[in-house]
Structures are given as C-alpha cells and as structure tokens.
Structure 1
Amino acid sequence: MGKTAWVYPGQGAQYPGMGADLYKHLRSAKATFEEMESLRPGTMKQCFEGSAQELAQTKNTQPCLHVVSLAAAKSLEHYGFAPDVTAGFSLGEYAALTSAQTLGTKESFRLVEKRGELMQEAGEASPTSMLAVVGLPVEEENFLTEFSEEVYVVNYNCPGQVVVAGEKGELRRLSRALREKGVRSVPLKVSGAFHSPIMQKASDIFSSILSRFTLRKPTLPVYANATAQPYEEDSLETLKKQMTSPVYWQKTIENMIADGVDTFVECGAGKTLSGMIQRISPNVNIFHVEDVESLHHTLRGLSRGA
C-alpha cells in the first residue's frame, strides 16, 4: 500500500445537518464541536439545524464547514489513523494546515472565522459569484479567459471541469455563450468571486491578520492550492496568496499520486472532492468521512489496506 492523503472540502459542500451524526456518536467529534462552540457560540446550531440559506452565507459557511472537517479528522485519529500527506480545497486548506500542526485548532478556527467575514463583505460589495464549467475541452479554455475582462478562471478541478468567477451579469452572459457551444455550466452556492483579483481588498486585510501568526513547520507535507506543491519555508507568504490565486486541484492530486499516494480520504461534508479525484485518477482508493456510516466504511477499508 502506498501513501494515504487526507483532503478537506471547500465552500459549496455544506448542507443542513452536517456533522450532527458524528457529534452524537463520537466523543472526539463532540469535543471538537464543543471547543469551537466556545469560540463562536451558535456554530453547532448552524451546522445541525441551520437552513441551506443560512449556511450559504460565507460568514457562516466557512467556520461551520471547518469544524465538520476537523471533527471528521479527529474521528479517524481516535481509531489510530493518520495521513502521510494532506491538502484542502480553498477553505479546506486551513483544516489541512491544522492536520499538519502548522496551525493550532483554535488558531485555524479564528482565522477561518475572520476569513469568512471578510470574503462575505467583499462579495456583498459587488454582485459577483462563481460558475462551474463542465465539458469544455482543455484546448478551448482560452475561450473563458478571452470572453471578458471581468471573468477569471479560478479553479482547475478535474478533467472537464473548471470554475470561473466574476460579475454576475457577465457570468450569465458567459453561461448563454457556453450553452450555444453545447457546454454545461452550473452556478455555485457561493456569495462572491473567490480566488480572483476581486478578492484583493479582503486578501490584503486578511494578510495583515495572518502576519500576526507564526506558522509552524508542517509535520507532514501540505500541498498548497496556489502551487500544487508542498508548502516550503515561506508558508505564510504562500497562504497569503491563497484568497486571490486559482486553486490548482487537479495538479495537486496528480502531484500527490506522483509522490506515491494511492489512497485518499475526504474528511468533512459531502463527497465533492471524492468525485473530482475519481475523475483525475480512477485507479486510486477513495474514502470519505462525514458521518458514522462513512467512518466505519473508511475504517474497514484502511484496516485491510484498501
């Protein structure tokens, strides 16, 4: 068996009731939720009882998704498992950095809370959003970059799927143009043009907050969204770029596989990343942990060496 990577989802994976089953049945998950609840009262209620609309607000989405990811990882750790390498998609990168002890649990939660607030403010300052583009051939991706100066390619998810961000009116116009080409597009459940230059003001403010923190040397490789490579000595500078840099997820997974990873465990809400990884490489083992049933399935798979 090769290396195992734990990966953590980003915004858009949220759903009402996420994490409730882990909280109810696992002490390690319960302790994680209660610790974060002490920092941000109301987080558990939003996770377990919040509406889809409430959870879609970035200031709520990010801390709620983060605590669910941490609880899922703690549930695996409780049974003696640990990753060899790790990565997270956008917001999920903070859970990955926590997993590698670059950030403490409380530190990462506080940062994620502030990150969500700033990104929501940036989204509310201008009518922007994001659009998944499905089925556009790689050789035609320049159609997206040339379509409008107000549209940016921000996520390279997997073969046949990228995400663009920009002004809502331009995204609607792009969607119509893609439909005429026979290409499907899907609006994302987000409230801003994340990972684009539109986030620059929020990024500048957040960078000043990040500068007050000391990022410890990772205890295991953490692959960065902005480079698709493991963090190096300039961890802080790499993380500062994250909010306005594209997420190179496909390249991240390809690099992990090239470095010996053959098993992936998605820790947190949903199976979005699992689906992407399957499209990137159908030959790897993929598990996920979001509730007790998926946890037990993953434990059985990891115990028998996948």
Structure 2
Amino acid sequence: MKLGFLYAGQGSQHVGMGRDLYDQHPLFRDIFDSAPVDFDLKGLCFDGPEEQLGQTQYTQPCMVAFAAGVTALLYEQGIRPDYAAGLSLGEYSALHAAGVLDAKTAIELVAFRGRAMAEAVKDRPCSMAAVLKLDREPLQAACDGASHLGVVEIANYNCPGQLVIGGDAAAVDKACELAKAAGAKRCMPLKVSGPFHTSLMAPAGDALRARFQSVEFRPMAFPVVFNCTGNVLQAGQSIPALLERQVQSSVYLEDSIRRMAELGVEAFVEIGPGKALSGFVKKTVPGIPVYPVETAEDLEAVIAALKGEAV
C-alpha cells in the first residue's frame, strides 16, 4: 500500500502538544530535548503561554520538533511513506522525513524562517482570512477589486470550499466584503501574526536564499510534493529555490493532495497537532483514508491500523 505523510502547518499548535508522547517515548523526548533553539521549547509546548506559542518565531520550531519526534516513532515501527507533503512550515518536516534535512537543521531553519517572516511585515497592519464556499476565480476577482487598498492575494488553496487570503488589513477586509457579495458563505479572520504566503513576505524569501547557501540539502529518499507547485520536484528545479518561493507565494495544498492520489497514494497519515489536514483530505479525495497522529493514543491506533491489526 502506498502511503503519504502530511505535515501540519501553523495555526494547529496548542498548549499541551506532545506532552504524552514526551512522557511515554524516549525517542520523542530526545528530539525535543536536543532542539537547537534559544528558548524553552518543551516548556512552551507543554505549558504555554498560548500567546507566545502562537508567535511565528516560536510556533515554527515547536511544530517541526513535534513532527520530527512523531516521524521518528513511526520509522521505528517500520512505517515509512512513499510520498510526503506539508502545509507551509510542514514542508520542512516533509523534507526532514525524506532525509533532505536532519532534525536539528530543520528546526534551526524554521526558527530562522519564523524570525524572518515576523520581521518582513513589522509594524505593518496585515491580516489573513479563510473564505468558505467560493471558487478560486470569483475570489481572485474579489482580490483584484480590493487591490487599490493594498496587497491582497490568495495565500492558500486548502481544499474545495476553503481558500485563504492575506495581505494589507484594509485590502483583506474589502476583499472579504466583495467575496461575500459574490457568494462566499463566510469569511473568517485568522489568528496569525503576518500575511503568510503573499508577496509581502518577499524580504523573508531574500533572507532564506542567503541562509540556504550554508545548508546541505541531501538527496530525497522519496519524493516530496511541494507547496508552490503542487507537484514533485521537476527537472531544472531546486529545493532551496522552491522553499524561497514558497514563503512568498500561494500554497497549493488541494493540488498537492490530488497529485499524491494520482501518484497512487492509498492512505494518508497526518502528523501534527490538530486534524485540519485530515479534513482537507476528506473534502479533496474522500475515498482515501487518513489517519491523524497527535497523541500517544493516536500513534498506537495508526501503528495497529497500518500493520493490519485490530484497532
């Protein structure tokens, strides 16, 4: 059976994430304890405060440490994917799973990325909003109609019926107004600290390009499906260039999930706190099962299911 791993992105973090896995699994504990960060990663994940955990520069290394720990536990059981993808920062976890980056390097890179993203729009009023039940074309028209107020772009193509826009706050508000007039069911403001995956993140892309010059990107043990293309690596493309592009352009997660299904993936494992990606899979390729892993209990259930035992 072909298996696809999907790694969660920012927004699904919560206080308490990973505590039971840390307590019960030494391998997970080792990754958390050795994370190369300048703050108390374990304490922040387990005890908060939630406001700090939600800040980009802290969220990203916490999420990747969690993902690396779960990946190690699945690999210990002989459960490995044929393909992987991740939502935004989750792409770094997918690359770690594929052997491109070791855990410490992946955590260091997303910590740097988080700081660069926070700095890119410092003191600029920005926002993001999830737009429900509106197709891509009318939402793009709404963004175009609001562009006189500033930057507003489609940042995430998550699944059928769920898109995300981001940019300057006034332009996002106007685009939401136009989207609702065009038939959107709801426009929900997101609790994020910046307009991720829009052109306003170009300074972060520049910073990453410089940082990547000192990073070793190893060959992939299996293909990763990339956010900004919705496809595996193509001739003439490079992983550093795609990661630089990813931070400042749209995430095509729906397209990525469809591509993995086309490549023969028969089951997905979602790795990370929350179950948002499981919902995206069910709406995008409803015939393919998806197993979320957030807790120690989830881990046991997934291992049993994928090894053919009774859950």
Relative to the length of structure 1, the TM-score reads 0.94
Q: How does 1:215-294 map to 2 (within 5 A)?
A: 215-232=217-234, 234-294=238-298
Partner of 1:171: 172
Select which of 88, 100, 104 maps to 1:90. Answer: 88
Structure 2 Cα separation of the partners of residues 8 and 270 of structure 1: 11
Structure 2 Cα separation of the partners of residues 51 and 147 of structure 1: 39
Partner of 1:77: 75
- How big is each residue's C-alpha offset from its partner over 1:194-246, in whole Å with a ceiling of 9 and x where there is no partner? 11110111211121101221211101001111111112462222222111121
Deviates more, 1:172-181 or 1:277-286: 172-181
Deviates more, 1:246-255 or 1:162-171: 162-171
Partner of 1:9: 8
Partner of 2:156: 155
Deviates more, 1:226-235 or 1:216-225: 226-235
Deviates more, 1:100-109 or 1:143-152: 143-152
Structure 2 Cα separation of the partners of residues 235 and 181 of structure 1: 38
Q: Which runs of 4+ in 1 moved over 4 A?
A: none
CA contact (8 A) 2:4 2:84 kept: yes
Select which of 119, 122, 125 maps to 1:124. Answer: 122
Residues 50/182 of structure 1: CA separation in 2 closer, same or farther (3 Å cut) = same
Partner of 1:213: 215
- How big is each residue's C-alpha offset from its partner over 1:17-70, in whole Å with a ceiling of 9 and x where there is no partner? 11111101111111111111x543401111111122111111111111111111
Question: Percent same amino acid among aligned pairs?
Answer: 35
Unaligned runs of 5+ in 2: none
CA contact (8 A) 1:226 1:242 kept: yes
Partner of 2:198: 196
CA contact (8 A) 2:64 2:107 kept: yes
Residue 180 of structure 1: how far off its partner (Å): 4.1
DSSP 3-state at the match of 2:16: coil
DSSP 3-state at the match of 1:132: strand
Equivalent AA in structure 2 for residue 141 of structure 1: L
CA contact (8 A) 2:14 2:53 kept: yes
- How big is each residue's C-alpha offset from its partner over 1:157-183, in whole Å with a ceiling of 9 and x where there is no partner? 100111111111222233333344452
DSSP 3-state at the match of 1:116: helix
Equivalent AA in structure 2 for residue 281 of structure 1: V
DSSP 3-state at the match of 2:247: helix
CA contact (8 A) 1:138 1:160 kept: no
Residue 9 of structure 1: how far off its partner (Å): 0.7
Equivalent AA in structure 2 for residue 236 of structure 1: P
RMSD: 1.7
Structure 1 Cα separation of the partners of residues 69 and 132 of structure 2: 32
- How big is each residue's C-alpha offset from its partner over 1:75-123, in whole Å with a ceiling of 9 and x where there is no partner? 2122221111111110000000000111111111111110011111123
Structure 2 Cα separation of the partners of residues 278 and 21 of structure 1: 27
Unaligned runs of 5+ in 1: none
Residues 221/179 of structure 1: CA separation in 2 closer, same or farther (3 Å cut) = same
Structure 2 Cα separation of the partners of residues 187 and 119 of structure 1: 19
